[in-house]
Structure 1
Amino acid sequence: MSPVEAKQRIETLSQELKQHSYNYYVLAMPAISDYEFDKKLEELSALEKQFPEFLLPDSPTQKVGGEITKEFQTVRHRWPMLSLGNTYNQQELIDFDQRIRKAIGDNFEYVVELKYDGLSMSLTYKDGQLLRAVTRGDGVQGDDVTTNIRTIHNVPKKLKQGNYPDEFEIRGEVFMHLKAFERLNNERIENGEVPYANPRNFASGTVKLQDSTEVARRPLDCFLYFLYTEKQLFKTHWESLQAVKSWGFHVNEHNKLCKNIDEVFEFITYWDKERHNLSYDIDGIVIKVNSYAQQQELGYTAKSPRWAISYKFKAERVETELLQVTYQVGRTGAVTPVANLKPVLLAGTTVKRATLHNADEIMERLKLHEHDTVYVEKGGEIIPKIIGVNLDKRRPDAEPIQYVTNCPVCGTELLRKEGEAAFYCPNDEGCPPQITGKIQHFIGRKAMNIDGLGDETINTLYNRGFIRHISDLYELHKHTDELKKMDRFGEQSINNMLEGIEKSKQMPFEKVLFGLGIRYVGETVAKKLVAHFKTIDNLMAASLEELTTTEEIGERIAQSLIEYFSDNQHREQIEKLRAQGLQFVADDKEVVLASDKLSGMNFIISGTFEQFSRDELKDMIEANGGKILSSISAKLNYLVAGDNMGPAKLEKATKLNIPIISDAELLTMIG
């Protein structure tokens, strides 16, 4: 490679890797696999060594981690959070072992640990209490996410008695268990929201939420694995792991002390197969020299310790034939393409289908043709996905796959809204899977919780012509004799079903609103809307501006509500449900206020505060008669501003001449 070509390649790789780092660490939406990232990084590192004159000061090879997000206070790490060197083959591990032996001799041990696929976290404890939790960030400084980390059950807020120092730091990994991920992702899909690709992304996205109440609803876990203190308390890493476990920290039970590299390989071989039986994702094994004295002797490079390395499992990948692409229609009308594959064994299970996400995936990224031979991978993804095409095996006469333009079920022309990846069928009142999906959602446990009804029963009742709308459920009592003539509809099961339907009329307004299945209106949003508007009539009459000034209601949700209520068929359904006795008025419990000093005043809280959390300030405002808005408008009376407030909010408030006050000034107003 000539110097000119090398310079250009170094610049291209640097730019690509910076973008991929941003996608991974900040957006929690990686565009390439870890393996691809590491290979690009290796290529860049090799080129920089060959052509050191082109090494950029901010090269990705000189950095650790990602960028700092702007939503949280930035904190400098007392001890830098370095990353580990990665390897994907055993020879490189043997080379690592030989380098260690050359430096410190043969008398040493390794500690091997599972490498969790999560979010690195540094916890600081003072006098036995959790003082601060900070993300890796760029390795030198990270985001203070203490309020969110306090919601994790397995992170001790206060330690039991022990011989721990007055102040210390402990490092670990925040992650989400697979079952929790599947459950929460299914909820997102039901609410018409974009699902996360894997548990790591979901955990990362959750930690970066500003609403700690929402974080608490998403079950996260945390394994701790490395202790930092001013004065060394232990001689080995293994001793420290046993100690921190006795102090009350959640330490993984599968760590192992190994006498040599052969025992390390046995551990790797075992977990390469056994990892599929864990309740959480791991993507490799971490190998550390056990003795702290030997660690110090081995030292560090600018980016990583010389005494540790991570062995990363390759994501399992197989080759198979694409038989056809089919399309599923969800209850919100979203059309999802699915690749139907020639059955193939992958990660211990037989795979027949793989996700294709959207039209861009089929026609732009993969450029799929009929009967292509495709590569299917199941790494950090729960659902297998197609990652590429073997072009050498493509048939000469194969036609490119075109995304459907009409609904595969009802034939209605599909729509695609600006800024969205998915196509939608707009025929929500006439498309069978949307109709049955909406009714199934309505009867669900989190909505109306109707006993005696299930998804299969709904399908049967729809196919036999008994139900076409949610309101038809409340007319089923008129068809008892006809139902008795059907298979699997005994007298007792019919009675249970009708009792469950009648009982559902007492469900509160927020459950009914959630049950209607309005796109983007999940459980939390439904509660916020009911608390703000009180009645369905107020909600149906609300303008876009009125909706967006409601707490946590953005323009996307507001627009969805307006579209829903502007449809006469939807309004007709609501009137029928109201006539049947369903609840469309908030069941307000009497609230005792501390004072009415802020009555009639609207507030927004933005930024971070030293003395109080944003939730505490919100509670103070509401306890004294004030109201919290979700966005800045002419209706806002005060913007309570802390550190690191978003510049866009500040600019908009200044333009509208809205008073900007501190938390201290707010306290003065309350008195």
Structure 2
Amino acid sequence: MPARGCSMGDEASSPEQRVQQLREQIEDHNYRYYVLDDPSIPDAEYDRLLRELETLEDRHPELITPESPTQRVGAAPAQGFETVEHDIPMLSLANAFSREEVAEFDRRIREQLDLEVIGYSAEPKLDGVAISLIYERGNLVLAATRGDGQTGENVTTNVRTIRSVPLKLRGHNIPERLEVRGEIFMTRSGFEQLNTRLADAGEKTFVNPRNAASGSLRQLDASVTATRPLRFYCYGAATTDRLPESHGEVLEKLREYGIPVSAEASRVDGLEGLLDYYESIGSKRGDLDYDIDGVVYKVDDLDQQRELGQVSRAPRWALAHKFPAQEEVTRLLGIEVQVGRTGALTPVARLEPVFVGGVTVTNATLHNADEVRRKDVRPGDEVVVRRAGDVIPEIVRSIPERRSGDPAPWVMPESCPECGSAVEQVEGEAAARCSGGLVCPAQRKRALEHFASRKAMDIDGLGSRLIEQLVDQDLVRSPADLYHLDRDTLAGLDRMAERSADNLLAALEASKEVSLGRLLFALGIREVGEVTARNLARQFGSIDRLAEASVEALEAVRDVGPVMARHIRAFFDEAHNREVVERLLSAGVRYEVEQAAESGEQPLAGKTYVLTGSLSGRTRSEAKAALEALGARVTGSVSKNTTALIAGGEPGSKLMRAEELGVPVLDEAGLESLLEK
């Protein structure tokens, strides 16, 4: 349970006094946590207080009262819920779905009250279960669902298990009888934890937080309800005896009594205030830990509410301004696979068009094959589609009971739909990936940009705009094609002249002389960075030996773990990749092997350095490589474990950090001295 506030008092002189002291402390903790959101003791301390109270009540059962915090565990299972007639009907609200409808609501209010500007109270419209709580002399005596508005179900025993519902009100001048109304709901985080727990136990999970809240509240066994993460927010009082004369002030008074109220509730003025509030809550909707489906506007002044009255089953003084629908049902026409720039394969649902979340949706993400299996989504199914704000639409679940026949479960293709290369699925990873990184059209531009980058083949003049043209005009399909470009072809491209073409051809020719480490890095093998590529080059000495290496042999290389070893193996197992490598070598690319230093020639082994600023004698990449060749580790941030910071010209904040930590600082001369070891 989350931490709560207040510290434990001194031991009481009698069981009666200690029980009373413990109850007051625990209720104060509940108030600070659920109402003030200001806890001040850890969970363990709260649990210790509760256990002490339980122990005392076990020893002295005559001290147990219905309002004790220990009485939230639930009673024996009921046979059913008795009905309760509401003293004051629980009315529904009129709905608005546009700014124009809200403007019409405000106009009617202003005309009926003959006022230019109306003060309103505005609050989120929780997507939960409406509830009525009745307190007599400050004690909870009845909890009932809304039902049909006239009669509801008596769920008192279950509601008593919800910790955010006070069993006894706090403070002074509490009305003799007080009816509080609000919403029972489940937070998103609580919903996820509950579903995980149910799934682990092999039990049926809930579809969404609202269904989970409703199902949990209506358990015939209240001890089950007690295990569910239900919460309560109050949105008003049906009785106003001894309460303030405005809705906003009523909420504040109820909060003083220990009743939770949404922190998002606010008072606004006029139509502009209503619409601004709607936009504000809508913008933070995704950040809230509970679901809302709109906002509720109420005339703030209670006398004005009484003057306005009601029509049919809804008050004239209130309005629910609903957000566009976020979930709708439609049919799944098929599942296609998209290949991203990194080679990740994503199943995408093709849908019958459906209007949801304010737009017409025809596609929705299914994330990965595991998600498709978990949700049991099959082509032809009717499915629930969700769209929240600007979030990409997703399929929430299928509706298998409406399924026609027994369609086969969908499976991820074994070959990339773009290039036919094998699909790699590493155990423990959700995403499947195309292994043909050098030839796959979906990855082509990214692969070429990486291949030409400074730390790879360092092809000066081959930037992203030029690569766009080469790929879009189908002049280059793999890195090997770069070495077959001619002057006329290049000069004919946009923003390219003969001189630029000559410069690029010269850069391509120069790039043919390369170290094996840079060439391996340029190939874009997944997760293989420049340091690992250099380690692989030193270990195997040639591409042929590396291409034939087993996973076990790869794992023996420094910084290569089991997952990376499988990525390397998958890369060279793909015939398309091997073909590109052979074409690169045939085009004249020649590599030289970087010899590893002998074990006795690692004078900087175990030392960690950080580089900052600009160096005049060599690039930072060259300095990093030289340090690593001597066994050093080069990282990007300064810590107390850093051996030294090497600072060139115009060093950044890393220098200040090093000085704060007392880390030695070396200049460029100090670097050269290190490298001479």
Please give the TM-score of this superposition, normalised by the length of structure 1: 0.42
- Normalised by the length of structure 2, the TM-score is 0.42
